[in-house]
Amino acid sequence: MRDTRSGNACHKTSFAEANRADSGFDPQWRDDLGEKHAELAKRLETLVPCLEIPLHLAWIDAIQHLKRERGALIMAHSYQSPEIFHGVADITGDSLALAQAAADCGSDVIVMCGVHFMAESAKLLAPHKRVLIPDLEAGCSLASSITAADVRALRARHPGVPVVSYVNTSAEVKAESDACCTSANAVQVVEAMGSDKVIFLPDRYLGSWVATQTTVELVLWNGTCEVHESFTGREARHTRETFGAKLVAHPECAPEVLAEADFVGSTTAMGRWLERERPARVAMITECSMADNLRNRFPNIEFIKPCNLCPHMKRITLPNIHACLRDLRHEIHIDAAVATRARAALERMLAVGRQERV
Ligand code: 13P
Ligand code: SF4
What pLDDT is stored for residue 6 in this prediction? 34
What pLDDT is stored for residue 353 in this prediction? 77
What pLDDT is stored for residue 10 in this prediction? 41
Q: Which long-range contacts (CB under 8 A, 24 or more apart) does 187-191 make?
A: 187/213, 187/214, 188/352, 188/353, 188/356, 189/164, 189/348, 189/349, 189/352, 190/164, 190/214, 190/216, 190/218, 191/216
Same domain flag for 203 and 252: no
Q: Of 303, 279, 281, which is closest to residue 293 (Cα–Cα)?
A: 303
Measured at the CA of 192, the angle between CA 186 and CA 198, to 5 degrees, comes to 70
Same domain flag for 22 and 112: yes
Q: Of 262, 153, 253, 267, which is closest to residue 207 (Cα–Cα)?
A: 253
Query: Which among 98, 168, 290 is the best mutation to test ligand 1's pocket, defined by most ligand atoms within 8 Å of the CB?
Result: 168
- How far is 12 from 317, CA to CA, in rounded Å? 7
Q: Is the CB of 185 under 6 A from ligand 1?
A: no
Q: Is the CB of 287 under 6 A from ligand 2?
A: yes
What pLDDT is stored for residue 259 in this prediction? 97
Q: Which residues contact 335 (CB under 8 A, 6 or more apart)?
A: 171
The rounded Å distance from CA 39 to ligand 2 centre is: 31
CATH code (residue 298): 3.40.50.10800
Same domain flag for 16 and 58: yes
Residue 240 lies in a domain: yes
- How far is 303 from 203, CA to CA, in rounded Å? 27
Same domain flag for 25 and 133: yes
Q: Is the CB of 310 under 6 A from ligand 2?
A: yes
Whole-model pTM?
Answer: 0.91
Query: Atom of ligand 1 at shortest distance to CA of 287?
Result: 10
Q: Which residues contact 209 (CB under 8 A, 6 or more apart)?
A: 251, 255, 258, 264
Same domain flag for 93 and 32: yes
Query: Which among 98, 116, 266 is the best mutation to test ligand 1's pocket, defined by most ligand atoms within 8 Å of the CB?
Result: 266
Q: Is the CB of 118 under 6 A from ligand 2?
A: no
Residue 286 lies in a domain: yes
Same domain flag for 319 and 346: no
Residue 1 lies in a domain: no
| Number of domains observed in the structure of the chain | 3
Structural domain of 251:
233-308
Residue nearest to atom 7 of ligand 2 (CA): 225
Residue 161 lies in a domain: yes
The rounded Å distance from CA 159 to ligand 2 centre is: 30
Q: Of 332, 353, 355, 349, which is closest to residue 124 (Cα–Cα)?
A: 332
Query: Atom of ligand 1 at shortest distance to CA of 269?
Result: 3
- pLDDT digit string (tens) for the chain, length 358 residues: 433 333 344 444 554 555 554 666 777 667 788 788 889 999 998 889 888 999 999 999 999 999 999 999 999 999 999 999 999 999 999 888 898 898 899 999 999 999 999 999 999 999 999 999 999 999 999 999 999 999 999 999 999 999 999 999 999 999 999 999 999 899 999 999 999 999 999 999 999 999 999 999 999 999 999 999 999 999 999 999 999 999 999 999 999 999 999 999 988 899 999 999 999 999 999 999 999 999 989 999 999 977 799 999 999 999 999 999 999 999 999 999 999 999 999 999 999 977 665 4
